[in-house]
Amino acid sequence: MMSSQQWYIWCMSFLRRAALIAVPCCTLTACSSDASESSSPEHLSVEVLDTAPLPENSFTQGLEEDGEGNLLLGTGQWGESKLIRFSPENGEVLQEQALDDSFFGEGITQYGDSIWQLTWKRGQALRYDGDFQRTGTATYTGEGWGLCANQDELIMSDGTSTLRHMDPETFAERSTTEVTLEGSPVEDLNELECVDGDVYANVWQTNDIYRIDPSSGEVTAVISTDAIDKSKYTDPDDVLNGIAHIKGTDEFWLTGKRWDELYRVRVK
């Protein structure tokens, strides 16, 4: 039989061991719960407010406001690729620059006084001034898909689940981030739009837009565009592709490849 002192020592030892086991379990449970909550995206949709004409036969690869109420448009296809500035009010082309036939144009973005345009398989980023005069060329590995300007960097997609963080002056790659939705990689990231520190991305062959935290790569919102009637766009290539934030508002212009209209929308 244990003495009262032995009994006390045994009880204290038991309680210490129990506490050591219980506390980590509770902590792991809490951490698991927090991780689960942080990886669950919002599910949003768009409300169509208006439509506007798009320049004819535009195989849209990049879309962005120019800061003066007009839109910059990058188009693709061999022998048809262009950089265009046009008015969303009537679709009038104000300025355009054709690419060499050896280039298949891709995403575009404006950074300061420069406009960058990606090419699909040539591994070259074309740099222009505000008058669409070529001022330089930079090289990168892999394919070029989408591009946007985020604070002091450019963010590029290449058709994989990777966002590439590029120097806005030299186009040198600084780092990469893998994009995930609830822990799974998101492939086929396409046209990009940077807005207030977030990246909005088209995903090839889907009708959803993903809002992404570019630091963590986590998808924070899945935005359905089912409110846009796409029934007249029947070719498999005529996919949703083109996001331009309308500065000073919570609205966007959306369009797609070979679409004849822009859709002014609000995310809700």
Whether 5 and 71 share a structural domain: no
| 198-255 per-position pLDDT tens digit | 999 999 999 999 999 999 999 999 999 999 999 999 888 899 999 999 999 999 999 9
One domain, residues 154 and 260: yes
Q: Are residues 12 and 49 both part of a single domain?
A: no
From 37-41, 58-62, 201-205, 220-224, the region with the lowest mean pLDDT: 37-41
What is the per-residue pLDDT across 140-190, written as a single tens digit (0 to 9) for each? 999 999 999 999 999 999 999 999 999 999 999 999 999 999 999 999 999
Interior/surface letters 209-240, b for 16+ CB within 10 angstroms, e for the rest:
bbbbebeebbbbbbbebeebeeeebeeeebbb
256 in the same domain as 180: yes
Average pLDDT taken over every residue of the chain: 88
pLDDT band at 50 (very low <50, low <70, confident <90, very high): very high
Distances from the Cα of 165 to the Cα of 3, 63, 73, 249, angstroms: 70, 19, 22, 26
Domain harbouring 111, CATH code: 2.120.10.30
Q: Please state, in angstroms and rounded to a whole number, the distance separating the CA atoms of residues 243 and 208.
A: 12
Token pair listed for 42: 């919002």
The model carries a pTM of 0.84
Q: Is the pLDDT of residue 15 over 90?
A: no
30 and 56, same domain (yes or no): no
With bands split at pLDDT 50, 70 and 90, how would you rate the model's confidence at 24?
very low
* Residues 17 and 98 reside in one and the same domain: no
Q: Please indicate, yes or no, whether residues 60 and 46 belong to a single structural domain of this protein.
A: yes
pLDDT reading at 105 higher than 60 = yes
* 76 and 155, same domain (yes or no): yes
User: Is 106 in the same domain as 83?
Assistant: yes
Q: How large is the greatest C-alpha to C-alpha distance in the chain, in angstroms?
A: 98
Q: How many domains does the chain have?
A: 2
Do 149 and 16 have their domain in common? no
In the prediction, which pLDDT does 39 show?
73
Are 262 and 227 in a shared domain?
Answer: yes
Examine the domain organization and report whether 153 and 21 are in the same domain: no
Give residue 63's domain range: 42-267
